[in-house]
Amino acid sequence: MTDSITPLDDIAFSFQDRLVQVLTDARHRSRGVSAQYGQLWESLTRMATGGKLIRPRLLIDAHRGLGGGDQAAAVDAACAMQLLHIALVIHDDVIDNDTVRRGEANISGEFASDAMRRGAGRREAHTWGDATALLGGDLMLTLAHSLLARLDIDDAKRRAILDIFDDTVFQSAAGEHSDVWLSLHLEEPRSQEVLEMAGQKTAVYSFQAPLLIAAVLAGATSTLTAELADIAAQIGVVYQLRDDVLGLFGDERVTGKSTFSDLREGKETLLIAFARSDPSWAEVHALFGDRMLSTADGHRLRNVIEESGALVFVESIISARCEDLYRLIREASLPTALSTQLIELTSDCNRRTA
């Protein structure tokens, strides 16, 4: 994702300042509890203030684009969206048993390694790493709620934002739950189900919640708000489909993730749903979801997927969805600045390489 969606650096700056500020008090207090708890809060702060900050930037830009004037509330809501993102990412890693994210040790990995260096056995160290990450996610989720509960705006708006946020957690948990369920392969998923799951798991909190909260803060009309919800859902689909393609066919040096890890996990995507209908799938289906998948078998499986036409099919879907989106955005009753931003966001989601 390029920086083009946030031209005004001062706003991004005040957002990051505020995020550091809301984490500082707890970080200081945590050192008094134990060295380990202090270390957890340091890691959480690093995670929360790093990364591409797509969600908070989207909320702040949309709020400004819609003519909203409550910059302080927008910044706090943006912090909450970033903290929710961190909480979900951390818990997703615990669920997937991952110890690495974007090429670096995540919280589980960092704390497990530390414990092993200090003499803990592998199993105990792993339990410690996962426990630390699970609690870290709870703490970030709590801080997100805490910011929204204290928004200094009129009561009706605050309640509307709380409604959006609560529904976002409900949907995100539902999407994650479906994702894990589908990876059990107890039933063959329909393509529609796979897309819905991805939308719930990622699009709702990444695009819909920031846009809808910005709309409430800026006092947007219900027509405009409905248009934004629709656009957000469609951007989410593009984002997710690109994610699936990068997961299997991306550049590992850029994504920081093995192109076999989705295959080992047995992750159900539109690519897989398409490949399943190819006759040659039968030869490789036992490899899909095999945690010990070798490099050679990984290449074989990926070739079958590509040769089934799945990659071409999904790329064509992404293209068509982007064209639909550009039209949808142009035809919506949005202020020009926001239209431009959303078109760039769509394009970034499509063309991203990591």
Binding mask 141-160 for a second copy (x = CB under 8 A): xxx-xx-xxx-------xx-
User: What phi and psi values does residue 80 have, to the nearest 5 degrees?
Assistant: -60, -40
Give the residue, chosen from 72, 131, 282, 286, that forms a contact with a second copy under the rule CB under 8 A: 131
Contact by Cβ (8 Å): 140, 87: yes
Under the criterion CB under 8 A, does residue 134 sit at the interface with a second copy?
yes
What's the closest the beta carbon of residue 130 comes to a second copy, in angstroms?
Answer: 7
Q: Which two tokens stand for residue 11?
A: 């706003």
Which is nearer to a second copy, 84 or 248 (by Cβ)? 84
**Alpha-carbon dihedral sign for residues 40, 44, 45, 47:** positive
**Options 89, 173, 317, 343; binder of a second copy; rule CB under 8 A:** 173
Nearest 5 degrees, angle CA 165-CA 166-CA 167? 90
Query: Distances from the Cα of 215 to the Cαs of 60, 69, 270, in angstroms?
Result: 11, 12, 31
User: What DSSP assignment string belongs to 164-230?
Assistant: HHHHHHHHHHHHHHHHHHHTTTSSPPPHHHHHHHHIIIIIIIIIIHHHHHHHHHHT--HHHHHHHHH
Stretch of residues binding a second copy (CB under 8 A), selected from 10-18, 48-56, 128-136, 237-245 = 128-136
Helix axes 107-117, 71-96, angle to 10 degrees: 60
**Site stretch for a second copy (CB under 8 A), options 60-68, 127-135, 230-238, 322-330:** 127-135
Strand runs (DSSP E) across the chain, as ranges?
Answer: 100-101, 104-105
Which CB atom, from 5 or from 148, has the smaller least distance to a second copy?
A: 148
What's the rounded Cα separation, in Å, for the pair 176 and 182?
Answer: 10
Cβ 180 to a second copy shortest distance, Å: 4
Q: Are 204 and 175 in contact (CB under 8 A)?
A: yes
Minimum distance of a second copy from residue 99's CB (angstroms)? 15
Question: What's the closest the beta carbon of residue 233 comes to a second copy, in angstroms?
Answer: 16
Contact predicate 55/85, CB 8 Å: yes
Question: Which 54-93 residues touch a second copy, going by CB under 8 A?
Answer: 87, 91
**Residues 223-262, interacting with a second copy (CB under 8 A):** none
By CB under 8 A, residue 120 contacts a second copy: yes
Among 170, 190, 286, 323, binds a second copy (CB under 8 A): 170
Minimal distance, residue 151 CB to a second copy, in Å: 9
Which residues form the interface with a second copy (CB under 8 A)?
A: 26, 29-30, 33-34, 36-37, 40, 87, 91, 94-95, 97, 115, 118-120, 124-125, 127-128, 130-132, 134-135, 137-139, 141-143, 145-146, 148-150, 158-159, 162, 166, 169-170, 173-174, 176-178, 180-181, 183-184, 186, 200
